[in-house]
């Protein structure tokens, strides 16, 4: 359903909703995704609960997620996915930069090169919900699977201010390895950073994440601080936390 076929009242609502996102959102994001995010926002408003759904999509499963953005959020979600041994194939994430600061994400995941069974999908959704409510200690569960103090291999980070999106961006590139996404998101949480857009590229055994960020208290990050953050994140990922 394209925007041209919408009622004028829905179009007006969509325009108002889109104003809370970065400037590029309305221009670069498809009408279909904009509408889907508007519907998810309405569900959030009605239920006052995070939207967490896992549905089969071909040979993979699609995790749809919507909630109020907070710096610990992605650390918890990716921690649960790592704990269940899921492989992440693609990631799209759109976060608002003005109140109510909602974030909408879709991840394509698999387990053992297959879509998740109904039971596993149900367990993953429940674990994410429990983690967000503070009743499920992601770090404790992951400590059984991984040595969380072991650094990642071959990590590179770079900070820049994107000239098209007009947002601070952090590029993280590392060899593919278990727990990679969780460790990246955990490092961002430790720096009190908020992810408002993300691009993922997996190629020849390497993962490249481009993360568009806001700083503490949803502030823009000046360039001098951004380079310092990139260095700190790299050191955390290499296992040099202190």
- The DSSP symbol for 117 reads P
Percent with pLDDT over 70 in the chain: 96
Q: Which two tokens stand for residue 225?
A: 């601080």
Query: Region 92-107: what's the mean pLDDT?
Result: 97
Residue 228 predicted with pLDDT over 50: yes
pLDDT for the residue 240: 67
pLDDT for the residue 217: 86
pLDDT for the residue 31: 93
- Angle at alpha carbon of residue 73, lines to 225 and 58, rounded to 5°: 115
Q: Which of 112-116, 142-146, 215-219 shows the lowest per-residue confidence on average (mean pLDDT)?
A: 142-146
Is residue 113 within 8 A of residue 122, CB to CB? The reply is no
pLDDT for the residue 2: 47
Query: Region 141-154: what's the mean pLDDT?
Result: 78
pLDDT for the residue 242: 45
Residue 1 predicted with pLDDT over 60: no
pLDDT for the residue 232: 96
pLDDT for the residue 189: 95
Residue-wise pLDDT for 14-54, tens only, equals: 999 999 999 899 999 999 999 999 999 999 999 999 999 99
pLDDT for the residue 198: 96
Residue-wise pLDDT for 170-203, tens only, equals: 999 999 988 899 999 999 999 999 999 999 999 9
Strands (E), the chain: 51-57, 60-68, 87-95, 102-110, 156-161, 168-175, 194-203, 206-214
Please provide the size of the chain in residues.
242
Q: Which range in 217-221, 227-231, 235-239 is most confidently predicted, on average pLDDT?
A: 227-231
pLDDT for the residue 215: 93
Q: How many CB atoms lie within 10 A of CB 211?
A: 24
Q: Please, which residues have CB within 8 angstroms of residue 221's CB and are 6 or more apart in sequence?
A: 159, 168, 193, 213, 214, 215, 229
Q: How many CB atoms lie within 10 A of CB 217?
A: 7
Residue 4 predicted with pLDDT over 70: no
Residue-wise pLDDT for 128-138, tens only, equals: 999 999 887 88
Residue 60 predicted with pLDDT over 50: yes
């Amino acid at each position: 359903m394209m925007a041209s076929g919408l009622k004028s009242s829905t179009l007006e609502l969509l325009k108002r909703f889109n104003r809370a996102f970065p400037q590029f959102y309305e221009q670069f994001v498809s009408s279909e995704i904009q509408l889907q995010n508007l519907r998810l926002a309405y569900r959030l408003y009605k239920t006052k609960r995070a939207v967490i759904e896992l549905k089969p999509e071909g040979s993979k499963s699609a995790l749809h997620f919507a909630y109020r953005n907070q710096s610990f959020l992605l650390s918890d979600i990716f921690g649960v996915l790592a704990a269940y041994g899921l492989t992440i194939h693609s990631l799209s994430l759109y976060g608002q930069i003005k109140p109510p600061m909602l974030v909408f994400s879709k991840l394509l995941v698999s387990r053992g090169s297959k879509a998740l069974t109904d039971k596993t999908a149900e367990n993953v959704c429940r674990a994410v919900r429990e983690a967000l409510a503070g009743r499920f200690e992601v770090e404790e569960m992951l400590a059984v699977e991984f040595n969380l103090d072991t650094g990642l291999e071959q990590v590179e980070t770079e900070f820049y201010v994107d000239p098209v999106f007009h947002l601070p961006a952090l590029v993280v590139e590392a060899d593919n390895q278990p727990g990679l996404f969780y460790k990246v998101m955990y490092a961002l949480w430790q720096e009190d950073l908020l992810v408002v857009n993300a691009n993922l590229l997996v190629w020849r055994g390497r993962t490249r994440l481009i993360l568009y960020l806001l700083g503490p208290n949803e502030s823009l990050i000046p360039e001098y601080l951004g380079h310092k953050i990139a260095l700190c994140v790299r050191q955390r990922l290499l296992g040099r936390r202190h």
